[in-house]
Amino acid sequence: MRLPVLLCLAALAALASGGQSPLQRRVLRELLEQFHGRSNVQFLFKEQAVEGVEREDSSGTFVQLRVSLVQTSCSKRAQRRHNCRLVESRRKPVCLACYKFDRSDVSKVLDKYYNCGPSHHLAAKEIKHRDEAECRAVEEAGRDGDGFYLPGMFAFSKGLPP
């Protein structure tokens, strides 16, 4: 009887935290910082929906998030950010973030890509294809066809002496 109760409590805790891994929370935090750092963004935006994918391979961990944002009534420079009401009739951008982390204890970013735009953009199909290609390239970061690649690692070839 205790097992089902514990499983329900674990599921509720996962829902409350968004069910995101530490790397996904890091990507979301960095994405929001980048978005709010734009000069044309005057108001604070909050995530309305987050869809995430996380895959591991021998070169590291790939994280992809699609984040739907909604504008709030607070300025992005506001001191108190927790009482901002959502403004439903305003812009609702959708962001895509793809990050590749190495396998170290303090995960370092090997490569990243992010793009935010209006959810109703006219060229959405072309943007989607570009986003998919960029994310594939990010996922391949750290891989080398024959082995493992680390950032800053260079291969030099030198002929043998005669």
More confident residue, 43 or 105: 43
Question: pLDDT exceeding 90 applies to what percent of the chain?
Answer: 42
Write out pLDDT tens, residues 34-66. 999 999 999 999 999 999 999 998 889 999 999
Contact 24, 51 (CB under 8 A): no
Each as own residue / partner, the long-range contacts of residues 156-160 (CB below 8 Å, 24 or more positions apart, any chain) are none
Query: If DSSP codes are grouped into helix, strand and coil, which group holds residue 71?
Result: strand
User: Mean pLDDT over residues 93-104, rounded?
Assistant: 92
Contact 145, 133 (CB under 8 A): no
- Domain 18-143 class, CATH top level: alpha beta
Element (H, E) at 49: strand 43-57
- Count how many Cα atoms sit within 13 Å of the Cα of residue 129 in the half-sphere of its side chain: 3
User: Mean pLDDT over residues 75-99, rounded?
Assistant: 85
Written as six digits, the tokens of 91 are: 């812009």
Domain boundaries, the chain: 18-143
Task: Using CA atoms of 136, 32, 20, 62 in order, give the dihedral in degrees to the nearest 10.
Answer: 20
Write out pLDDT tens, residues 3-12. 343 333 333 3
